[in-house]
């Protein structure tokens, strides 16, 4: 696909960068390289709140998986990034963070079928007890029609060879 207004492309990256481009809303390139497929959104789900030491280990695990997904061409939605927000604003509690994560799932559900998934990292916390938040999020995925995977292989099979 070619942009109908190539004067708005940054040649080195083949990106449309003009917010005043006449085809801004309909441009096949938009803010991403022209001709690329739409993003494949992956919501990460799993136990996160396991006391201070467990929490940091869970954040590391979520971030490692998110990095692997980005390198593979996916757009991961990582709830562990709330660590920074909580450090800046200690008034943010688990309930607020969990609500936001569930709202993000509604955004993922709005992505086209075949371009969305939830990657479940597990449902038990560090004490081998069920994570109520993770289980509730998986139930939300089922209700919203978001396919759930537990391995990169399942995710690749769902996406196919297209990045």
Looking at the structure, tell me whether residues 45 and 21 fall in a common domain: no
Looking at the structure, tell me whether residues 10 and 58 fall in a common domain: no
Question: How confident is the model at residue 86, as a pLDDT?
Answer: 83
Looking at the structure, tell me whether residues 16 and 46 fall in a common domain: no
Token pair for residue 161?
Answer: 């060879």
Looking at the structure, tell me whether residues 56 and 19 fall in a common domain: no
**Rounded Cα distance, 145 and 160, in Å:** 19
Q: What is the pLDDT of residues 54-102, one digit of tens each?
A: 788 889 999 999 999 999 999 999 999 888 888 899 898 888 888 999 9
H helices present in the chain, as ranges:
51-71, 82-88, 94-109, 132-144, 152-159
CATH number at residue 75: 3.40.50.10400
Looking at the structure, tell me whether residues 67 and 80 fall in a common domain: yes
Q: Kindly report the backbone phi and psi dihedral angles of residue 21, in degrees, each rounded to the nearest multiple of 5, phi listed first.
A: -60, 135
Looking at the structure, tell me whether residues 3 and 71 fall in a common domain: no
What is the count of structural domains for the chain?
2
Question: How confident is the model at residue 27, as a pLDDT?
Answer: 57
Looking at the structure, tell me whether residues 3 and 73 fall in a common domain: no
**Rounded Cα distance, 153 and 120, in Å:** 13
Looking at the structure, tell me whether residues 18 and 90 fall in a common domain: no
Looking at the structure, tell me whether residues 78 and 139 fall in a common domain: yes
Domain that holds residue 48: 41-159
Looking at the structure, tell me whether residues 53 and 14 fall in a common domain: no
Residues above pLDDT 90, as percent of the chain:
48
Looking at the structure, tell me whether residues 109 and 57 fall in a common domain: yes
Strands 9-10 and 15-16: antiparallel
């Amino acid at each position: 696909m070619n942009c109908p207004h190539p004067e708005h492309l940054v040649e080195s990256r083949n990106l449309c960068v003009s917010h005043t481009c006449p085809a801004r809303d309909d441009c096949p390139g938009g803010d991403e390289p022209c001709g690329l497929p739409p993003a494949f959104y992956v919501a990460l789900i799993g136990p996160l709140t396991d006391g201070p030491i467990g929490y940091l280990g869970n954040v590391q695990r979520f971030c490692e998986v998110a990095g692997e997904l980005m390198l593979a061409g996916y757009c991961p939605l990582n709830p562990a990034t709330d660590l920074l927000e909580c450090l800046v604003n200690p008034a943010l509690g688990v309930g607020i963070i969990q609500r936001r994560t569930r709202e993000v799932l509604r955004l993922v559900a709005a992505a086209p079928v075949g371009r969305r998934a939830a990657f479940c990292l597990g449902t038990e916390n560090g004490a081998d007890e069920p994570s109520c938040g993770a289980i509730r999020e998986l139930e939300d995925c089922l209700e919203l029609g978001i396919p759930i995977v537990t391995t990169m292989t399942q995710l690749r099979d769902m996406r196919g060879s297209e990045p």
